[in-house]
Amino acid sequence: MQDATETLTAALRYAVLAPSSHNSQPWSFRLNGNEVELWADRTRSLPVVDPHDRELLISCGAALHHLRVALAAAGTDIEVERLPEPVLPDFLARVTVRGVAIPDPAAIRLRDAMARRHTTRRPFDRRSAPLNLIHRLQGEPRAGRRAVGDRRPRSRPAPAPDRARRPAAGRQSTAAS
């Protein structure tokens, strides 16, 4: 139990490095033995730019992903339950340490990048990225994400009727945060 708590504590140091809308960091983690809970912290919501808390939830998802990558890098076998208590919509996930696993080399690289990653708002360079770099990125394991430069159409669920009618007001501009 002590080991699991220490492992989770170390992984949480990476989780809180996740990007978040306007750097709001709208998450709250509760550590209890071999479990950690992720809660949405709506006191950090941004009603003007994010009236439906969409970006708040994406930010929490990024933090959960950081946590999972850090645990995979540490060689930890975990179980992730999303929305474990349906009556508590702010209780977004529970991560439970089940045991040990072989540390994942791809996760180690990603975890190490987390400490260096940051958002840049500098102007884009006009030059194209070198082809060998694009090919290298395409070869990276992506854990369910799409390949760089993959232009196949995304399969998207049809929008629910109320979402289709919702005005696009309050969206964060590209360089706003």
Contact set with ligand FMN (CB under 6 A): 19-23, 55, 58-59, 62, 118-119, 121, 172, 174-177
Residue nearer to ligand FMN on the CB measure, 19 or 75 = 19
Map residue 109 onto helix, strand or coil.
helix
Number of neighbours of residue 18 by Cβ within 10 angstroms: 20
Angstrom distances, CA of residue 31 to CA of 2, 25, 119, 132: 12, 17, 28, 43
Q: Over the Cα atoms of the chain, what is R_g? A: 18
State in angstroms the smallest separation of the CB of 126 from ligand FMN: 20
State in angstroms the smallest separation of the CB of 131 from ligand FMN: 27
Residue nearer to ligand FMN on the CB measure, 61 or 75 = 61
State in angstroms the smallest separation of the CB of 100 from ligand FMN: 30
Strands (E), the chain: 27-32, 35-40, 76-82, 91-100
Residue nearer to ligand FMN on the CB measure, 58 or 134 = 58
> Which residue's Cβ lies closest to ligand FMN?
19
Q: Which residue in the block uniquely carries the two structure tokens 């808390």?
A: 53
State in angstroms the smallest separation of the CB of 40 from ligand FMN: 13
